Structure 1
């Protein structure tokens, strides 16, 4: 294994470890030493992989969204299903992920969004880019559903997509506050109504 490959693997290990911890504790509550200890990486090597904690946080978010969008693309391109069925499968996966007691690094937009948007401009922009890419995919799925006749909407597909994403993000926060999946169940019902399903 080359030094470059080993370095990339170590960087990825640090990012994956941080994602798991931050999904539980948030960004500000997690120290770099905690992440490095958990990852089994020497403490003095952090700045070999990241220029600052800000750059570290941005890398976590960009990596998170790259993985999230790949998973989302897989759900939204499942063969043998209508566009509406694919889109509802995405929301069902969201519900299952967000209502679990431990989201295993799959809910960083919900967990970190409000916290880091005011702390770091690079992290805010990573969140903006990532959530924008999610909304774009939802908008394309809505437009495909209009095309194949599996759903209907009142309004522009992208605006409907933005409203749906905003609602689901809010429902996820409320689900955490109430420690109940009820807000996500409400979001599912409202989504069905907005898509005329």
Structure 2
């Protein structure tokens, strides 16, 4: 393996290990030793790529949102789906991911949002940009649904997208507290009402 490729792989392994750990335990509860042990790399490798744990957190969130946005783009561009079907597929996927791992989920915006926003301005800004990217994609999908007739909204698409994202963030937190999926069932019903959808695939 070429040196550049090896470095890229090592960096990716550290970030992947960090995401696995932090998606379950949070940012402050996970130490660098724990991350490096899971990644199978020496401590010196960490500081070769990241100047601090906060810098690692920035990179972790940036990589996470980049992949998340790419997955959204792929989902909303699936051939043969109306915009409404794409939107409900997205929410159904959110529900499934958050119910995974004993309600710990895999969404870093849910897990780390409130925690790191108060710890690091740099990480807060990455979260802000990343969540804005999600809302932007939801907005475009809602606009596409209005255009193809599969969605009917009475408010501007951006307002609906923002409200839905906040609804699902709240549902994810409550599901963690209650340890059941009642909040997601309510969120799905509310989402259909807000989008004017009936009989959409889940």
Q: Is the TM value for this pair above 0.5?
A: yes
Q: Give the equivalent residue in structure 2 for 1:154.
A: 154
Q: CA deviation at 1:101?
A: 2.7
Corresponding residue of 1:178: 178
Q: Which residue of 2 aligns with 1:17?
A: 17
Structure 1 residues 24-48: Cα deviation after superposition (integer angstroms, max 9, x where no partner): 1100000011100111001232111
Q: d(CA) in 2 for partners of 1:102 and 1:39?
A: 23
CA 2–105 in structure 1, closer or farther in 2 if over 3 Å, else same:
farther
Partner of 2:200: none
Separation (CA, whole Å) in 1 of partners of 2:76 and 2:94: 13
- 2:139 counterpart of 1:117: no
**Mapping for residues 16-165 of structure 1, pairs under 5 Å:** 16-102=16-102, 106-165=106-165
CA offset at residue 154 of structure 1?
1.0
Specify every segment of 5 or more residues in structure 2 that has no aligned partner in the other structure, as ranges.
Answer: 198-202
Runs of at least 4 residues off by over 3 Å: 102-105
Residues 51 and 41 of structure 1: is their aligned pair in 2 closer, same or farther, counting only changes over 3 Å? same
- Structure 1 residue 69, shift from structure 2 partner: 1.1
In the aligned structure 2, how far is the partner of 1:167 from the partner of 1:51? 36
Q: CA RMSD in A?
A: 1.3
When residues 102 and 19 of structure 1 are mapped into structure 2, their CA distance, relative to the original with a 3 A threshold, is farther
Q: Tell me, in whole angstroms, the C-alpha distance in 1 between the residues paired with 2:34 and 2:157.
A: 43
For 1:10 and 1:63, how far apart are their aligned partners in 2? 14
**Which residue number in structure 2 is paired with residue 196 of structure 1?**
196
Deviations 1:120-177 (A, max 9, x none): 0111011001000000000000000000011100110011100000100110011101
Query: Secondary structure in 2 aligned to 1:159?
Result: helix
Return the offset for 1:105: 7.1
Match for residue 169 of structure 1?
169
* Alpha-carbon distance in structure 2 between the residues aligned to 1:81 and 1:103: 29
Aligned partners of 1:139 and 1:157 also within 8 Å: yes
Structure 1 contact 18–35 (Cα < 8 Å) conserved: yes
Change (3 A) 1:146 1:79: same
CA distance in 2, matches of 1:181, 1:99: 7
User: Is residue 22–residue 105 contact of structure 1 (8 Å, CA) maintained in 2?
Assistant: no
For this pair of structures, how many residues does the alignment match?
A: 197
CA distance in 1, matches of 2:34, 2:58: 18
